[in-house]
Amino acid sequence: MEMDLGSSGRRLRPRRSSPERDGDNGEGRIGALPDALLVLVLSWLGSTAEVARTSLVSPRWRSLWPELPVLVFRGIGPDTLADLLAKARHPNLSRLELQIPRQDPGVPASRISSLLRAADEHNPEEVVFNVGGSDDDGVPFELPFFARATSIDLRIWNRRFVLPPAGVFSTLEKLSLSLCRVEPSEFLPRCPCLRVLDVDCYWLKGDVDVRSDSLEELVLRDVPNRDAVYRMQRRVYIVAPRLKKFKLQSYGHAEMKASFSAPAPMMETLSLRYCSIFSRGVGFTRHWRLMGLNTTMEWWGRDGQLSNPVRVRVLSLTNYHAVDRTFGEEILRLPVNNFSILKLELRSMWHVFGEVVFDLLKTLNAIQRLELVLPQTMDHVWTPRRRFHYNPDGWTNEHILLPHLEELEIERFHVIDHDIDMVKLLFTSAPELKTVRIQLFASVSQSDPGYKELCSVFWKNTSAKCYVNGRLEEPEEN
């Protein structure tokens, strides 16, 4: 026979007892352990509810689960949960997890408030509370302050919560809210020690106000709402001088437009992701849209020698219609815009991108290293052609200066006029360029006439070491 402990995934196969093994009284070796050791064993078994109601353990085991420092109840109705919490005896839980499955009608707000008050009586250090199902006509539930809690994770479908009239979350450092209806300005002033805020919710107001002197990590996700107006803008105002990590994801019909009250000198990680067509309002002319921007850790090497890892800010661009503001305007809104390394990923049905690249470089003219990942969609249509229709006058006559640019890397390079014109202009704009690395598109051969033209560009700029597919290109001897 087996004992299944639910979500923990652990199975115990009880050993059959015998008088020779267990003694004259028939008590198993585990059953003979002191209570303190049995509590320690039970604490590793996972789902507390399964331990409490199984008939495959001795009554003595069932009587000990209320002493556990970690209580995990999953897939249990509110009435049973209330009874289990009433039986728990540990005065200071290290973790308490309650998960109520979807019910129709939904669990009343008064019942949720009652369960949370019962949970608060056990002084948990970590709280996870998950309620599935529908709401009850928008009636808010009350969230206690949990005097010992350093982490609270709430996932309560389409519900709003209110706080007690007085008090604060005196020890709370991490707060995760999912699928709730929230307004951060209502609870952030009551969280003086909060360092991490992760919100994946419906917003009570059109705009979002985040103000915190202690916040170091902020994650905001905009949940799709069937009642939302298409192409609406949701402004996010952030005042968090200690912020180190910021992640914004915009879904559905709304574009979340973040702005910072002042520079964030401690910012290390930045991630913007626009996950639907309607949320992409940043772009260039009618075609290019910002899909995402993020910082990543990459190893940076000079002349093939790896050095310390550095943070690279990656722009990912695609082409759609209807622009609200330019890339330059968006970059100036960011908490950090002193880019030293820029990796630009371009996604397009067509291979016309020079204009958008140089328009962006006008704003980011202090970069030291530029990485370009060129588009590949539809490449098979025009790859054999040296020339295709594009307007070089729109950008090849640009006069920009990139005084600090020393390294250039290009992936998926085609030896066609458009790409070669871009390299020529980069050489002209970057007098300190020292290293150029180009990786040709897979279908491009070094026997192509355009390859010789590319090499001639390199040979005219002998101050830079130029590599193609990893091979150093040196001037031909006369």
Residue 379: CATH number of its domain: 3.80.10
Name the band, by pLDDT with cuts 50, 70 and 90, for residue 12.
Answer: very low
Q: What average pLDDT does the structure give for the chain? A: 75
Residue 87, both tokens: 């039986």
**Highest mean pLDDT (candidates 353-362, 367-376, 382-391):** 367-376
What is the pTM for the complete model shown? 0.69
Higher pLDDT, 145 or 389: 145
For residue 415, give its domain range.
280-478
Asked whether residue 436 is domain-assigned, the answer is yes
Contact of 45 with 62, CB cutoff 8 Å = no
Residue 62, both tokens: 């069932």
Q: For the segment 182-198, what is each residue's pLDDT rounded down to a tens digit?
A: 999 999 999 999 999 99
- Which region among 277-281, 306-310, 361-365 has the lowest average model confidence (pLDDT)? 277-281
Asked whether residue 362 is domain-assigned, the answer is yes
Residue 119, classed as helix, strand or coil, is helix
Q: For the segment 329-350, what is each residue's pLDDT rounded down to a tens digit?
A: 666 666 666 678 888 877 665 6
Handedness of CA 24, 27, 29, 33 (dihedral sign): negative
| CB count in 10 Å sphere of residue 414 | 22
Residue 85, both tokens: 């919490």
Asked whether residue 359 is domain-assigned, the answer is yes
CA 341 to CA 181: how far, in whole Å?
Answer: 39
DSSP state of 106: P
Asked whether residue 451 is domain-assigned, the answer is yes
**What kind and span of H or E run contains 83?**
helix 78-87
Q: For the segment 297-327, what is each residue's pLDDT rounded down to a tens digit?
A: 555 555 445 556 665 555 554 444 445 556 6
Residue 354, both tokens: 């020079």
Question: Does residue 393 carry a pLDDT above 60?
Answer: no
Domain count of the fold of the chain: 1
CA distances, 120 to each of 67, 99, 159, 167, 466 (Å): 16, 16, 20, 14, 65
Residue 110, both tokens: 């008064």
- Which region among 17-26, 273-282, 390-399 has the lowest average model confidence (pLDDT)? 17-26
Q: Identify the bridge partners of residue 42 per DSSP, sorted by sequence position.
A: none
Residue 30, classed as helix, strand or coil, is coil
Contact of 62 with 21, CB cutoff 8 Å = no
Asked whether residue 415 is domain-assigned, the answer is yes
- What mean pLDDT is predicted for residues 121-138? 85
Contact of 428 with 402, CB cutoff 8 Å = no
Q: What are phi and psi of 40, to 5 degrees?
A: -65, -40
